[in-house]
Amino acid sequence: MAIRRKDTVLFEKPPVIAAWAAAGGKKESEGPLAPGFDFLTQDASFPDQSCANWEQAESFLQQKAAELCLRKAGISRKEVDLALAGDLQAQCTASNYTMRALEIPFAGVYGACSTMAETLCLAASLAAGGIVHQVMALTSSHFCAAERQFRTPLDYGAKRTPTAQWTATAAGACLLRGPGQRGVPVLSVTFGRVQDYAVHDINNMGAAMMPAAASTLLRYFAATGAAPTDFDAVFTGDLGEVGSALLKEQMEREGIPLPNHKDCGCLLYDVPAQNVQAGGSGAGCSAAVLCSHILPGLQSGQYHRVLFVATGALMSQTTFLQGESIPGIAHCVELAGEETV
């Protein structure tokens, strides 16, 4: 069953991620992880699919990831007990319309850019607890839908600050099963606590989310007694270059340096060359890096044990305009190589 050590739930018999898929757009197709994607399009407005707007296009991309994941798992959508999905759109409509199309029992979640880790934490827990047999964890983001909602309409051509991050046009889907089956084992999950260090700059999400990543990592290491060097890599997502530098500094100050830290926002794009300012972000960013790079690496033997710590900035356009600071959250998923099952 499961053992709780403070905030961390350790699975004695780990559930597994049996299949996964990553879908992305043009910029993602030009990035270093492109070969690991299951679907890439040069036109993420999907004019052939009669998507009338960016919001529908995002939902279509999410459906693509879900469908490819199911195909790789060798099952139909009717065999899925539950889907946990969320996205950045107000009221999570990209996921809602995806679930209208897929007709799978659905629990909507909201964790901003931490959503992939949040859905994995919940899905793994429900699979480990015997509540579901096959459960999907799913999320997406779309650059154009996010810019319109959180910043300025694209047509304004607003200048981006160097600390800004580029919302990925990407989706990731995972299909989890209970213990004893083939797949990448989920060894533990740690739900995050909200941290707010009074960052007000909507163009510096990395700084706003860093304290949440540090907090969750410190809680995980304290609860388990593990050290960063026990892992091939500690993946955060998506702090970008600004937040990643701050995290390294902070963890050194805490006495737990992170020599093997990687950030999904810095992995998805060639950061200096692709004009993404401080790196990638968006719920789809860490999801796509997970499904195009981390999980394949755990399957192939490139990685044997990693932490996946997706971070989210929990503000809205309303709270930003009201002058509120930006709370952050980070959820941690501990994954092992497929050979360890």
Binding site for a copy of itself (CB under 8 A): 1-2, 4, 7, 9, 52-53, 55-56, 81-82, 86, 88-93, 96-97, 99-100, 103-112, 118, 121-122, 125-126, 128-133, 149, 190-196, 314-319, 322, 324, 327, 329, 331
Instruction: Give the nearer residue to a copy of itself in terms of CB position, either 15 or 279.
Output: 15
Q: Which of residues 65 and 82 has its CB atom nearest to a copy of itself in the complex?
A: 82
**How do 305-313 and 233-237 pair as beta strands?**
parallel
Minimum CB distance to a copy of itself smaller for 145 or for 168: 145
Cβ proximity to a copy of itself, 104 vs 306, nearer residue: 104
* The residue to which tokens 């990731």 are assigned: 172
For residue 305, the cross-strand partners are 336
Burial of residue 219, with CB atoms counted within 10 A of its CB: 0-12 exposed, 13-18 middle, 19 or more buried: buried
Residue 290 to residue 298: CA distance in whole angstroms: 10
Q: What is the spatial distance between Cα 230 and Cα 161, in angstroms, rounded to a whole number?
A: 37
Nearer to a copy of itself, 192 or 337 (CB): 192
Q: Which is nearer to a copy of itself, 22 or 175 (CB)?
A: 175
Residue ranges of the alpha helices (H) in 38-92? Answer: 54-73
Q: What is the DSSP string of 206-248?
A: HHHHHHHHHHHHHHHHHHH---GGGSSEEEEES-HHHHHHHHH
Task: Give the tokens for residue 220.
Answer: 């995980």
Taking a C-beta distance cutoff of 8 angstroms, is the pair 181, 65 a contact? no
